[in-house]
Structure 1
Amino acid sequence: MSIRRSFIAGALLAASLACYVNAAASEHDRASAGILTAGHIEEQLQECPIVQDLNAQKIASNPSTGSLTSRIFGVLFPGSPAVNALLATLYISGPPNFLLALCPPNIDPSSLSVMVAFAVGGLMGDTLFHLLPEIFLGEDEVDKVKFVLVEPNKNLLLGVAIMVGFMTFVAMDKALRIATGGQDPHDHSHGHNHSSEKKDEDSTATSSSVDKPDTSNVQSRKPTSSAVQQAYPPPKEEPSTSVKLGGYLNLIADFTHNITDGLALSSSFYASPTIGATTTVAVFFHEIPHEVGDFALLVQSGFSKRAAMGAQFVTAVGAFLGTVIGIAVQEIGGSSSGVLADTDGPGLLGTSLRWGDMLLPFTAGTFLYVGTVAVIPEMLETGPKKAEETRKTLTQFVAIAAGAGIMLA
C-alpha cells in the first residue's frame, strides 16, 4: 500500500512539474512581449488536468457550509476590501472608546496587566499564525490548490518591509522618550507613584496633627473637619509640567499608533477576507487595554474625564486616516494579486510585488514591536512578594495562551 501511494504521489508530482514547465514555457513567450507575470503562470497551472483533479478533490473534501466564525465574519464584513477595512476601523475605534464612559477616572493602569497579556497573545498569534505565512506563502483558497512561485529578491523585499515597520516604531518610541526626558510616555507605573505620594502626604498630615495642641474644648463650638472639607474642598493639585507634556505626547503617540492600525486593517483585507477578519479581532482586543491605559494617563496629566474621552475620540481619527492611506496605496499601487499586477509588467526589482504588497509586512513589523518591545517589559516588572508575583505571572501566561488560542482557532 505504501509503495502504491508513493507511486501515485510521484505521478502527481511529475504531472505537476510537467504542467509547471508548460506554463513556464508559455510565460517565456509572454516574456518576449514584456507581460510576464506570476498571475499568468497561476492561470496556466489551473488549466492542467492534474491540477483540476486536485481542485475537484479539495472541493469534495471541504464542508459545504462554512464554520460559525466564517458566517459571523461574512455578516460583519459583507463588502469589498475597501468597505470591509472601513467597517473594521469603525469596529475597533468605536466600542473601546465608548467603554471609557464606564471607567472610573482614578483607575490604575497596572490593574490591566491580565488584559494586556491577553492582547499580546492575540497580536503575536495574528502575526505568527496569519500575517507572516500570508506574506511569504499566500492565503489558501477553498475551491482550488495554489502554488508558490519562488522569485529572486521577493523574500528579501518582504523581509526589508518587516524590518522597516519594526524600526519605524523604534524611532517613534525613541523620539518620544527623548521629548519626555527619558521617560516612556506609555509607562503605566506612575499610578503607583501617585498613590505613594498620597501616602506620604497622609503620613505628613498625621505627624503634623500629632504636634498640634489639644483643642477639644474649642472643637465643640466649630464644625467638624469632615464638614469643613465638604464645604471647602481642598484645591486639586496641579500636575507638573513634565506630566502634562507626557499626556500630550501620549496623544501624539496614540494618534500615530492608530494610523498603523488602519494601515494593518486595509492591507490585511486586500490580502484576504480571513486575514482581515483575524487582524480586526487582534487589534480590537489590543485596543481595549490600550485605550483604558491612555485614558488613565490623560486623567493623571490633568484632563477631566470628559476631556480625556474626547481626546481619545480625536486620536481614533488616526485609524481612519491610516485606513484611507492604505486603501489609496492598494488601489493606486496595486498588489501582486490585483488587476494591476497582470497589466503593468514586472514589479519591484523585477518581482511580482507591488507597493501595495509592502503594507502587510510593514504592519507585521509594527505588530512585532508592539507585542514584544512595547508591552512585554511591563509584564516583566516584578514586585517583592514572590507568591503574589507567581500567581500574577501564571495568570498572564494563561491570558497570553487564550489570546493566541483564539487566533489559532
Structure 2
Amino acid sequence: MCLALAAGLVLFSALAAAHDALSVGDLSVGQIEEELQNCPLVESLNEHKRLTSPQTTSLTSKIFSVLFPGSPAVNAILATIYISGPPNFLLALCPPNIDPSSLSVMVAFAVGGLLGDTLFHLLPEIFLGEGSPDSVRFVMVEPNRNLLLGLGIMVGFFTFVAMDKTLRIATGGAGHDHSHAHAHSHDDHPTATTSGTSTSPEPSTPLKQRKPTAITTATATPAPETEKEINPSVKLGGYLNLIADFTHNITDGLAMSSSFYASPTIGATTTVAVFFHEIPHEVGDFALLIQSGFSKRKAMGAQFVTAIGAFLGTFIGIAVQELGGGHGSTAAGVESASAGLLGTSLTWGDMLLPFTAGTFLYVGTVSVIPELLETGPDKRVEVKKTIVQFLAVMVGAGIMLVISWD
C-alpha cells in the first residue's frame, strides 16, 4: 500500500508538472478566462456580483427580448425587417412636394442616436467587450489587437469617404447629402431658368424673340412641357442616389449582423439607432427622387428596391461571422493567440463591428453635421433653430445612454 501511495504521488506530481509546463502562449482567450474564473478571489467577486445585482429585468430588456427572441442570425434578419419596412411604409403619408431641408430637427435627432450608439455601445464593445451579468470579466491587452481594431474603424470611415467622393465626381459636385438639402437647392436653379426669372441674360433672349411671333395658345402649351422637363443632371443625380442608398443599406445590414453577434444588447441598441436614422434618410431620398422626375408610386418602389441592400448586407455579415469566426465563436476559443488575424486573437468576423463604427462616425459627422451648421440671414430664427437642433441631438444621444446604462 505504501508503494502504491508513493507511485500515485509521483504520478500526480508528474501530471501537475506537465500541466504547469504547458506554454501560456498556447492558451486561447477563452481558456485563459476559464482559468481565471477558478481563482478564489474571482469566485468571491462573482458571488458578490450575483448578490448585489438586481434580479428584476428592465422594461427595455423585456421589449428587446420580445422583438429579438432568436439566435444572432435570426435577430439580425428581424432587425433588418424592422429598419427597412416601417420607414418605407411611412413614405405613403409623405406629400410629394416635401422639402428635405424641413427635416433638420429629425436629422439632428438621428445624429444624436447614431453618435450615441457609436460612442456608448459600439466603441466600448469593440475594445473592451460586453460584460457578463453573472461574473466579472477581464480585459487582456494584446500588442497589435487594438491597432487592428482602429484600422477597421478607419477603413469603414474612408470607405464612405470614397463612396461620397465618387458620387460627387459623377454628379459634377453634388454629393449624396444625408438629407439632400444641397441637392434640393441645386435642383431649384434649372426650374428658375425655365420660368424666365433667372438673372442670366442668355436664356431670356430667345424667349423674348419667340414672343412676338408666337400665338397666345402656342405660348401656353409649351409652358407645362418646360415645367415637366427635368434637367438631365438632376435625373442622373436621382439614379446615382439610388445606387448610393443601396450601398448605404448594405452597411446597415452589416451593422445588424455584426452587432447581434457581439451581444443582444448591442444589436438591439444599434437597431434603434439605425431606425431613427432611416426615417429622415428615406424621406430625404424620397423627396430627391420626386424632384428627379419619379412619380410618388415609382419613388416608393425604388426605395423598396434599395431596401434589398440591407438584407444583402445582413446575409453577408452572417456568412462572415459564421464562416470567419468572431464573437459568436469566442466561447469555443481560438487554438492559440497566433492562430488569429496577423498573430492576434481577432478573426475576420471581429472586424465587422469596427467597420460599422467607422461608417456610423462618417454618417453622423461628415455627412450630416455640415447641414446642421448651415445658417440663414435671420439671426433670431437661426438661434431658435440651433437650440431645437441641439436639444434633438441630446434627446437622441440620451435615449442611447439610458438604454446602455446598467
Question: Per the shorter chain, which TM-score range?
Answer: 0.7 to 0.9
Alignment match of 1:150 (pick from 118, 141, 148): 141
Residue of structure 1 in register with 2:312 after alignment:
321
Of the three residues 99, 109, 114, the one matched with 1:108 is 99
Instruction: Using the TM superposition, give the Cα deviation of residue 349 of structure 1 relative to its aligned residue in structure 2, in angstroms.
Output: 1.9
Alpha-carbon distance between aligned partners in 2 of 1:384 and 1:268, rounded to the nearest angstrom: 43
> What displacement does 1:112 show?
0.2
Deviation at 1:233, TM superposition (A): 9.3
Name whichever of 360-369 and 50-59 sits farther off: 50-59
Q: In the alignment, what sits opposite 1:20?
A: none
Moved more, 184-193 or 62-71: 184-193
Matched, 1:234 2:248: no
Residue aligned with 2:131, SS: coil
State how 1:9-408 maps to structure 2 within 5 Å. Answer: 29=22, 35-186=26-177, 187-192=180-185, 234-235=224-225, 236-335=227-326, 338=329, 342-345=333-336, 346-408=339-401
> Relative to 1, partners in 2 of residues 1:189 and 1:52: Cα closer, same or farther, differing over 3 Å?
same
AA matched with 1:402: V
For the residues of structure 2 that align with 1:294 and 1:95, how far apart are their CA atoms?
15
**1:141: Cα distance to partner?**
1.2
1: CA distance between counterparts of 2:282 and 2:250? Answer: 14
Deviation at 1:63, TM superposition (A): 1.3
Residue identity (%): 71
Map Cα deviations across residues 270-299 of structure 1 (whole Å, 9 max, x no partner).
000000000000000000000000000001
Distance 1:28-1:105 versus aligned 2 partners, 3 A rule: farther
Tell me the CA shift for residue 28 of structure 1: 6.6
Once residues 344 and 91 of structure 1 are traced to their aligned partners in structure 2, the CA distance between those partners, rounded to angstroms, is 38
Cα contact 1:112–1:289 (8 A) shared by 2? yes
The CA RMSD measured in Å over matched residues stands at: 2.8
- Kindly state the Cα deviation for residue 266 of structure 1 after the two structures are TM-superposed: 0.4
Q: Is the 8 A contact 1:334 1:340 kept in 2?
A: no
* Structure 1, unaligned runs of 5 or more: 1-24, 213-228
Residue deviations 1:236-260, cap 9 Å, x none? 4211110000000000000000000
Residue 189 of structure 1 and its aligned partner are, at CA, apart by 3.1
- For each residue in 1:44-103, what CA deviation from the matched residue of structure 2 results, as whole angstroms up to 9, or x when unmatched? 111112111111111111111210000000000000000000000000000000000000
The answer to which of 84-93 and 56-65 deviates more is 56-65
Segments of structure 2 that go 5 or more residues without pairing to the other structure are 1-17, 199-206, 212-219
Structure 2: distance between partners of 1:179 and 1:194: 16
Match of 1:106, SS? coil
Contact 1:291 1:312 (8 Å CA) reproduced: yes
Q: Secondary structure at the match of 2:257?
A: helix
1:234 deviation in Å?
Answer: 3.0
- Count of residue pairs brought into register by the alignment: 367
Distance in 1, Cα, partners of 2:355 & 2:21:
32
SS at match of 2:224: coil
- Confirm or deny: 8 A CA contact 1:335 1:341 kept in the other structure: no
Is this contact kept in 1: 2:256–2:270, CA < 8 A? Answer: yes
Which amino acid in 2 is paired with 1:349?
L
Q: 1:39 to 1:306 in 2, by over 3 A?
A: same
1:96-140 CA-partner distances (Å, limit 9, x unpaired): 000000000110000000000000000000000110000000111
CA distance in 2, matches of 1:348, 1:360: 15
- Contact kept? 1:97, 1:313, Cα under 8 Å: yes
1:225 is matched with: none
- What's 2:3 paired with? none
TM-score (norm 1): 0.84
User: Structure 2 CA distance, aligned partners of 1:26 and 1:104?
Assistant: 72
Contact (CA 8 Å) 1:341, 1:352: kept in 2 or not? no
Shift of 1:331: 0.3
Contact 2:149 2:354 in 1 (8 A): yes
Q: Give me the whole-angstrom Cα distance separating, in 2, the residues matched to 1:28 and 1:84.
A: 43
Q: TM-score, normalised by structure 2?
A: 0.84
CA distance in 1, matches of 2:100, 2:20: 58
Q: Distance in 2 between matches of 1:276 and 1:398?
A: 26
Deviation at 1:31, TM superposition (A): 5.0
Structure 1 contact 334–341 (Cα < 8 Å) conserved? no
* 1:178-203, Cα deviation, whole Å (9 max, x unpaired): 11111113332343455677677778
The residue identity in structure 1 corresponding to 2:374 is E
